[in-house]
Structures are given as C-alpha cells and as structure tokens.
A and B are shown apart, each in its own frame.
Chain A
Amino acid sequence: MKTTPRPAHAAKLRTLVAGITLFAASTPAALMAADLEAGKASAALCVACHQADGTGMAVPNGEPWPALAGMDAGYLLKQLQDFKAGARTNASMQPFAQMLNDEQMRNVAAYYASLPPRAGTPSQASAELLAHGEKLALRGDWDRYVVACVSCHGPGNGGVGSDFPRIAGQLPEYIKAQLIAYRDGSRANDPIDLMSAIAQRMTDHDIEAVSAWLGTQSAPNSSRN
C-alpha cells in the first residue's frame, strides 16, 4: 500500500529538481543531483526555528529566524557552508551546520528552495517609513550612495542566482539584523563586499524603513521562476 504512491511522488520530485536545474542557470552543478526527500529528512533539524513550511519566525526580543522557503538553493548552500567553516558566525546556526555533511547540505538547501516562498505581510510601520523604505529599495538614495536594493537583488527584489538572495517577503526583523551585521562588520560573507559597502552608508532609520517595506513585498521564487 505504501509503495503505490511512491513512483508518482518521485516523478513529481524529479520534475521539481529538473525545474530548479532549468531555471537557475547559476545553480552549481552539484545541486542537480539533490535529493529533496533526503533534504526534507535533514530539515527536521531546522523546523523548530525556521518552521515546517520554511517561512521562519520572529519572536519579540528574540533572534529572528529567517524564511528559507523558496530561496535559491545555491545561496542557502553557501550560507550553510559558511556557517560550518566560520565564514559567517551565528551561535544558533553553527552547531546545526556542523551536523550536516556536504551532501546533506545540498539536499536540505534544495528542499527549502523547492518550497513556496514567504508572501509579504502587512506592516505596522508608518506610511512615511514604508515610503522611505520603498524609495531605498527601488531607487536608492544616490546623494548618499545608497544603491537601490533592486540593482543587485533583481526584479521585485526576488533574488539573482545564488549570489544575491531574494529579500522581498523576508522577515523585516531578519533583514534589519543582517544590515546591522553588515554595517558593523560582524557579517562579512558577501561577495566583493557588495552589501557591506552599502550597509555602511545606511542610517538606523534607513535600515528600519527598508526592512519594513521589503517584508511587505512578495516576489516570484527565483529558483523556480
């Protein structure tokens, strides 16, 4: 009885993996062989914080747990590798990354990439703050050389390949924490310092605004188009 639905399910998964491979031109070849089933099994380690659907959670005054669902698999894999190697530090993540071998990392990254992304949610922030955030995200503020998010994070801030993550729909608390970390140098695993250089020009007000606005946005899943 248990075996009957399996082939269909497996075929669906193969289609999904093929879809990922087709659309994410920059996804490393290693991810092509990802086993989503095994990735889902490894994700048992992650669900307590990142939630069963991978859309993350922010508890008041706690560490924000980012949405992983629908993020680019190559990006997620790199973050796991960086946590394991210490290139990106986080006391909560490090022990979990240590538990995963290379294959498990590939699978779990592909699994989260295959889930539907977190949709934008309404913000309690003031209209004025959101307007400032929208301006920074879409046009930037060139008088202070704060480059628009969309310049690198792509159409709808939905991410570009494995190098520029989808930030639309991400938890505002998480975006804020990362921009602060890039600004103070406690996170520095961005390629060519691209994010750090810009974060260093951002005020607290900018960070608050852009995080709030991006959290309200929904973007297509960059991995699956």
Chain B
Amino acid sequence: MAGYAIRAELVKELSMNKKNPSTTHRLKHATKHLANGVALAVLALPLAAWATPAEDAAVPPETLERLQGMAPGAPLPKPGQFVHIPPTMEDLEASSLHPKLKETIRRGHDLFTHTQQLRGKNVFNDMNCSSCHMGEGRLPFSSPVWPAAVVLPNFRPKNGHVNSLEERIAGCFTYSMNGQPPAYGSDDMLALAAYHQWLAKGVPMYQPGNTMYGRGYPKLAEPELKPDVARGQAVYEAKCALCHSADGSGRKQNGKVVFPPLWGDNSFNWGAGISRLFTMASFIKHNMPLGQPNSLTEQQAWDLAQYIDSQERPQDPRYTGDIAETRALYEATFHKDTLYGTEFEGRILGDHSNTGEKPFLKPEGVLRSRDFSGRATNTN
C-alpha cells in the first residue's frame, strides 16, 4: 500500500518537469541519498523487516524519482533492497579528495568510457567498458560497477578462486574486450579500480551483493515461448540493425567505433559474461534500443539473445583446442548458459581457432588459479 502511494506521488513529481538541479544541489542530493541508502540497509538488518510494505517508505520519493530517471520503466526497489546512487563526476570535482586522487579517478573514468584508447595494447575489439556498463557504469540494471568494489575480494565460481577487484577488471579485458588486461598494479589498472571505488563511495564493505538494487543484469523470468532465432532475427532487423548492422558488426565513422559489434571478429569473445543468454536478454530488456530501456518485451529480449548467441565470435581464451572438452570443462560454471559448442544450422558454434584481431589466445598471467592454503610453492 505504501509502495503504491509513493508511486502515485512519484508520477506527480515527474510530471512537474522540474528544473535541472545545479551541481551543488546535486551534490547535496547525492550525499543525502547516500546517507538514506546506508540508513535503509542498516535498518533492514536488525529489524529484519523484509516484507512489510512500510519499508518502502524508507526510500524517499526523491530517491525513487532519481532511480526512475536512471532506469526508466524498471521496477522500483523492493522492501529491504539496498539502494545506492553512485556519485557523479561533478560530485568528484566538488569533493575534497586530494587533487592527485581526483586526477586518478578522472583517468579511470576516461578509460572506462573511452576504452578504445587502449586498442591494440589491452583491447583487441571494438568494445568500450561503457558499451555494456551504460551511463558511465552508474546505472541500475546495466551492471553498475560499484558493487564489485565492495563485494570483492570474494570467491568467484567462474574461475574457482578468490578474486580481487583488479582481477575482476582483468576478466572484462580478457573476455569482453577480447584482450590483454593492463598489468596488476599498473597506472591504468589503478585508475580503473579507483573509479570503481569512487562510485561505491559510502557503501559498506562486504555489503551483501544479493540485496543490491539493480545489480548486474537481473535475470528475467523464464520466457513463455522457447527462445527462437527466427523471431529474434525479425526483431533484430526492426530494432537493432540500424546501429549494430545487419551482419552484427556495429558501425564506425571516420574509423572510430560508434556502435559496438554484437558478433564477429570485433565483438566480445565466447568467454564474455554477456555471451550467456540470460545476461544478454537482461541487458537488452533493460538497456536497448539506446534511449528506450524496457521498451521491448521479455520474450523479444530472450529471442534476440538467442539470435545473437547463434552467431560466431572470437574463441574463448580458455579453449583447450577441443570444443567439446572446453564446453564440458566450463559447462557448469558458464557455458550451460551459452550456445558455445552446440550445433546451429549444421555447424558447431565456437569450433574454430579464430581469436579475432587478437594475435594470441590466452592473455599472459591472468588465467591462473590462486592458493591461500599456505602450502603452495608459487604464490606470486
């Protein structure tokens, strides 16, 4: 009931077409919302009031309004969910952080939104971090990156050991950018990590990830109809091909990437998180077409994911040389959700040694396990 009341109020406020708040206002709001977010989480735990509608009242209408602005059409926070609105770059400038730290975070933001500047060194495809983490990595339902800064180090099923924030970022470079991650501890890596941490400003360390509002690409409900390539292709041609091209290669202008490729040599590889059907479907539903989040149906999103995942892309860097073996090795933790190693139109997807523009399969020094038992001989 309270939830409904807030919604009605929100609609009223949204229709008032308020003037754009100034930077100082926004900073004030950000700080306030941050405090509210923390307060909500702190309250939720001791009271264990997960299901009472009254809990909704803890998220102030102006926070809900901001969330609706950032994720139009997305569901509002459920009772007990942790809400965090990351600070903006304007907030950074207005902050009292050391000028050298501001410079570092600014550099991280620039690398995040213009990752192509690392082309040929760390990036070997047409992707930027912000191709998938839209809105400078701040948006709910677009895998906002602040959670990584507060849930790591943690065990990660994908590689079966405890990962740091830097290792998590290295994973994106390895798979989504089909590249060679900047070295651990390098200036670029530190800048990227600092940007992640800045976005998490005020969030408690080890805040439980499963309570975070809009974290990752929340899995859509199972589709009513079995996802279908032909239906997906029809939607693709109507809604996606204009920007991503009929052949999935994206679009460039004057040699610069404008719209990222969704498959082919310059797209993410078979080990990228977004090559999983549920991840792609959720990304599409909550973010595409550009500027029209939540405009497609869930069925359309699932069908599109099926169509896109039925195309070829650079080899998974974990490839052993045998497609069936590679799929089997990573089936439980990853490939059960991709079409890698499955048959489509008479051929096995991923059965090739094409690494795209990358002149190697595995990046150096990244795809290795770790050992904290105290018994390992090589722990460097």
Contacts of B251 in A (CB 8 A): 160-161
Q: Indicate if A41 sits at the interface (CB-CB under 8 A).
A: no
* Pairwise interchain contact B291-A145, C-beta atoms closer than 8 A: yes
CB distance from B133 to the nearest CB of A (A): 11
Residue B258 interfacial (CB < 8 Å): yes
Q: Which residues of B contact A147 (CB under 8 A)?
A: 290-291
Chain A neighbourhood of B72, CB < 8 A: 145
* CB of A90 closer than 8 Å to a CB of B: no
Residue of B71, B134, B254, B290 touching A155 (CB-CB under 8 A): B254
Q: Shortest distance in angstroms between B68's beta carbon and chain A's nearest beta carbon?
A: 9
Bound-state CA distance A222–B256 (Å) is 12
Nearest CB of A to B315, in Å: 28
- Name A151's contact: one of B26, B66, B290 (CB within 8 Å): B290
Determine the chain A residues whose CB is within 8 A of the CB of B89 once the complex forms.
139
User: Do residues B242 and A191 form an inter-chain contact, with CB atoms below 8 A?
Assistant: yes
Closest A residue to B138 by CB, please name it: A142
| Given known A-B contacts A147-B290, A152-B258, A155-B258, A163 and B135 have beta carbons under 8 A apart | no
- CA–CA, A131 and B317, complex, Å: 44
Does the CB pair B291–A197 fall under 8 Å? yes
Q: Does B254 contact A225, Cβ atoms closer than 8 Å?
A: yes
* Cβ A158 vs Cβ B292 within 8 A: no
Residues of B with C-beta under 8 A to A220: 254
Asked if residues B243 and A152 are in contact (CB atoms below 8 Å), the reply is: yes
- Given A144-B69, A158-B254, A225-B254, CB of A198 within 8 Å of CB of B134: no
Contacts of B238 in A (CB 8 A): 192
A205 with B19: CB separation less than 8 A: yes
A102 lies within 8 A of chain B by Cβ: no
Q: Is A194 part of the contact surface with B, judged by Cβ < 8 Å? A: yes
Instruction: List which B35-65 residues lie within 8 A (CB) of chain A.
Output: none
Q: Does B105 touch A at the CB level, under 8 Å?
A: no
| Min CB–CB distance B83 → chain A (angstroms) | 14
**Which one of B69, B242, B290 lies within 8 Å of A143 (CB-CB)?**
B69
B17 within 8 A of A: yes
Closest to A146 in B: B291
- Let me know if A63 is at the binding interface, CB within 8 A: no
- Verify if B70 is at the interface (C-beta below 8 Å from A): yes
Residues of A within 8 A of B280 (CB): none
- In the complex, which residues 255-302 of chain B have their Cβ closer than 8 Å to any Cβ of chain A? 256, 258, 289-293
Whether a CB of chain B sits under 8 angstroms from the CB of A53 is no
Interface residues of chain A, those whose CB is within 8 Å of chain B, are 132, 139-145, 147, 151-152, 154-155, 158-161, 163, 191-194, 197-198, 203, 205-206, 220, 222, 225
Since A145-B69, A158-B253 are in contact, a sample of 17 more A-B pairs with Cβ atoms closer than 8 Å, ordered by chain A residue number, is: A139-B113, A140-B135, A142-B139, A144-B69, A145-B70, A152-B243, A154-B254, A159-B253, A160-B251, A191-B242, A192-B239, A193-B292, A197-B291, A197-B292, A205-B20, A220-B254, A222-B254
Q: List 30 A-B contacts (CB under 8 A).
A: A139-B89, A139-B136, A142-B138, A142-B139, A143-B66, A143-B69, A143-B70, A144-B69, A145-B71, A145-B72, A145-B135, A147-B291, A154-B254, A154-B256, A155-B256, A155-B258, A159-B253, A160-B253, A160-B258, A163-B242, A191-B242, A192-B239, A192-B292, A194-B290, A194-B291, A194-B292, A197-B292, A205-B20, A206-B20, A222-B253
